[in-house]
Amino acid sequence: MHDVKKMKLYHNPKRIYNELEASGLNKDTALKVQDLSPFDQYHYFGTDSVDDAITSLNISSENTILEIGSGIGGPARYIAEETGCHVTALELQPELNDIAVDLTERCGLSQLVNHVCGDILKFNQENTNFDYVVSWLTFLHIPDRNTLLNKCNSILKLGGKIFIDDYYKRNEFEEEELKVLANDVSCNYLPTKDEYKKQLIKSGFNEIKIIDKTYSWKNFVKERKERFIQNSESQIEIHNKEIVDDLEDFFSKVSWLFDHGNLGGLRIIAKKRGKI
């Protein structure tokens, strides 16, 4: 996995405390998941996308979930709150994981959400397999897709499913696009849609459903950039100019990538195949 910590999106993850304070919630205040949802969902379309996962997988309180790349814990907390299921939230970056633990405790969800700091490629879960693996915009940081997908398959129960939102390569990237992907998005490899499907089959998945999200994601990141720039003065009052400049630069470059038309987005739902 490339050095995702260099991404400007993650330079100042404690900014969520500034956002909460601006909403009248200081560091000692008990929280509700709904208080955090405007700030703790780093992926596209926020809790709407998490609702899609809950519905698509039919998640209930009986299920166990692994989220790969859980960030500061937004999706994990939301799933646990909405369904009562148990979620293991796996995050590579210690600072993000520490923030997630704090926010989950303040929401009173520590019995349902177990935060683990670690690398999915080295992750070992003893004595249990998961019903579902979910992930939002994390696989794009992991070039070793064979190991990654084999790991996902191995930690799922027979008949378990994965739900992934991820980037893919629609067309060959230009040199400048490759630089921005590598340097600003920590992404040095993306498969095409067909390559992705073949990798899933090879790793033991079937009933593969792939939904192209490119158009809606392109609009989302463009509107996010424009809204953030329009509100930059108020954002500087909440944070500081350095944080706002970092986020504006990141949002602008992601929008630029989608505008070029070679970067795509997709949603994958697939089932662990039984033995033949």
Is the per-residue pLDDT at 276 higher than 90? no
User: Strand 113-117 to strand 86-91: parallel, antiparallel, or no bridges (unpaired)?
Assistant: parallel
Is the per-residue pLDDT at 275 higher than 70? no
What are the tens digits of pLDDT across the range 56-113? Answer: 999 999 999 999 999 999 999 999 999 999 999 999 999 999 999 999 999 999 999 9
Structural domains of the chain, ranges and CATH numbers in brackets: 4-272 (3.40.50.150)
Spell out the residues 6+ positions from residue 37 whose beta carbon is closer than 8 angstroms to its own. Answer: 46, 47, 74, 78
**Residue of higher predicted confidence among 26 and 252:** 252
User: What is the reported pLDDT for 161?
Assistant: 98
Render the burial of 12-26: b for 16+ CB within 10 Å, e for the rest: bbebbbbbbeeeebe
Residue type for position 239: H
Residue 28 — pLDDT band, cuts 50, 70, 90? confident
Whole-model pTM: value is: 0.95
Count CB atoms within 10 A of the CB of residue 44. 19
Render the burial of 52-83: b for 16+ CB within 10 Å, e for the rest: bbbebbebeeebbbbbbbbbbbbbbbbbbbeb
What are the tens digits of pLDDT across the range 238-263? Answer: 999 999 999 999 999 999 999 999 99
DSSP string, 175-237: HHHHHHHHHHH-------HHHHHHHHHHTTEEEEEEEE-HHHHHHHHHHHHHHHHHTHHHHHH
- In the sheet with 113-117, reading across from the earlier edge strand, the strands are 113-117, 86-91, 64-68, 130-136, 156-169, 263-272, 205-212
Could you give the C-alpha distances from 26 to 12, 16, 18, 20, in angstroms and in order?
A: 18, 11, 9, 7
Q: What percent of the chain has pLDDT over 90?
A: 92
Tell me phi and psi for residue 261, to 5 degrees. Answer: 90, -5
User: What is the reported pLDDT for 6?
Assistant: 81
Residue 122 — pLDDT band, cuts 50, 70, 90? very high
User: What is the reported pLDDT for 4?
Assistant: 80
CA angle 259, 167, 139 (to 5 degrees): 150
User: What is the reported pLDDT for 3?
Assistant: 74
What are the tens digits of pLDDT across the range 152-167? Answer: 999 999 999 999 999 9
Residue 1 — pLDDT band, cuts 50, 70, 90? very low
Closest residue by Cα to residue 61 from 88, 33, 89, 83 = 83
Residue 127 — pLDDT band, cuts 50, 70, 90? low
What are the tens digits of pLDDT across the range 187-217? Answer: 999 999 999 999 999 999 999 999 999 999 9
